[in-house]
């Protein structure tokens, strides 16, 4: 597979996001199926695996550690801290908490190293900037983990260009991870350009628009614990409006000779050499389909038609609800 730069690391141009195997999109897959997926990705040439303490409250890290640690030298391991499950009431029920204090990040890292069954995490992101803690303080704490040999590089997630620059002045930032796809263009306001100027990789999660760009979807059939149920773009009304964009999109995919998912990922790969998509999936078949996007070539004409068809003006609904929007630091388009 093609290679791209992820901070100090050379990795596969397309990585694997490891949230879906245990978190967010309804009933998780079995452990056996998670094992098959992780090993299939490694066998297919994926060398960039991305997980987090939040995903399944440690379950994703545990699965990655259990099944990939025997092959640790073959891939770059990324995980995240600063947003995890905490037993606030002492009743064993974990609650999602954002906490960027350096001492909390250190403790989260130690727990992650054990779950991941490794001595060092290659790239460790601040999953969310805790706005009660100066970003320089949190990033300084992560820099201390670099000095201690616990992690090799520092990343940020869902931050603005201004926050990136402040953090980068405190400690070199290797990557910014943020949602980026045809229907989520927020990085194009400033972060995409800031990353390129600073030599920072932009790791694009949800590159197929949380499944929207893969094919027809029945939002009424989403499971009760599927996070898309809380996302405005997936309400029945907004989804029906957005779905009108799909016939034209599918026609372009057919013209190019690829699947809709491959078209979405290929579009990202063409946005810049510093852009690294990390699609997530629970299916080996879908994994293989996603990875095929690396071989899809898009002309300037096709890129322009895609940009005109699906963008911040043609998509209806915010990407997050009010609570989630308050927790991120990304720039937003003017209403």
Instruction: Kindly list the catalytic residues.
Output: 55
Tokens of 322: 């009010």
- The partner residues of 155 in beta bridges, in order of sequence, read 125, 175
Give the integer Cα–Cα distance in Å for 290 and 313.
Answer: 27
DSSP secondary structure letter of residue 257: T
187-197 residues labelled b (16+ CB within 10 A) or e (exposed):
bbbbbbebbee
Give the integer Cα–Cα distance in Å for 174 and 19.
Answer: 21
Among 309, 298, 59, residue whose Cα is nearest residue 209: 309
Q: Which helix (H) or strand (E) holds 146?
A: helix 135-147
Contact by Cβ (8 Å): 60, 22: yes
Tokens of 314: 């043609």
3-state secondary structure 89-114: CCCCCCEEEECCCHHHHHHHHHHHHH
Helix, strand, coil percentages (3-state) for the chain, rounded to 5, are 45, 20, 35
Give the integer Cα–Cα distance in Å for 38 and 65.
Answer: 10
φ/ψ of residue 49, rounded to 5: -115, 130
């Amino acid at each position: 597979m093609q290679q791209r730069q992820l901070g100090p690391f050379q990795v596969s141009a397309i990585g694997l996001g490891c949230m879906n195997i245990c978190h967010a999109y309804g009933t998780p897959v079995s452990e056996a199926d998670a094992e098959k997926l992780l090993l299939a990705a490694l066998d297919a040439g994926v060398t960039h695996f991305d997980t987090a303490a939040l995903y399944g409250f440690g379950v994703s890290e545990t699965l990655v550690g259990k099944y990939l640690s025997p092959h640790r030298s073959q891939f770059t391991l990324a995980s995240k801290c600063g947003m995890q499950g905490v037993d606030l009431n002492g009743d064993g029920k974990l609650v999602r908490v954002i906490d960027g204090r350096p001492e909390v990040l250190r403790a989260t890292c130690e727990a992650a190293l054990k779950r991941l069954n490794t001595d060092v995490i290659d790239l460790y992101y601040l999953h969310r900037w805790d706005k009660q803690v100066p970003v320089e303080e949190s990033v300084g704490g992560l820099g201390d983990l670099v000095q201690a040999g616990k992690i090799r590089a520092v990343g940020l997630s869902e931050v603005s260009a201004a926050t990136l620059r402040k953090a980068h002045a405190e400690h070199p930032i290797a990557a910014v991870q943020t949602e980026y796809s045809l229907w989520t263009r927020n990085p194009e306001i400033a972060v995409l350009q800031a990353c390129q100027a600073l030599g920072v990789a932009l790791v694009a999660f949800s590159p197929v628009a949380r499944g929207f760009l893969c094919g027809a979807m029945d939002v009424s059939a989403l499971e009760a614990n599927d996070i898309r149920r809380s996302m405005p773009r997936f309400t029945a009304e907004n989804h029906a409006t957005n779905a009108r964009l799909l016939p034209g999109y599918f026609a372009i995919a057919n013209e190019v000779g690829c699947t809709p998912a491959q078209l979405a990922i290929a579009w990202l790969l063409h946005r810049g050499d510093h852009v690294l998509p990390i699609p997530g999936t629970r299916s080996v078949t879908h994994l293989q389909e996603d990875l095929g996007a690396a071989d899809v070539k898009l002309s300037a004409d096709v890129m322009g038609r895609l940009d005109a068809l699906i963008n911040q003006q043609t998509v209806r609904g915010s990407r997050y609800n009010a609570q989630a929007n308050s927790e991120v630091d990304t720039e937003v388009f003017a209403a």
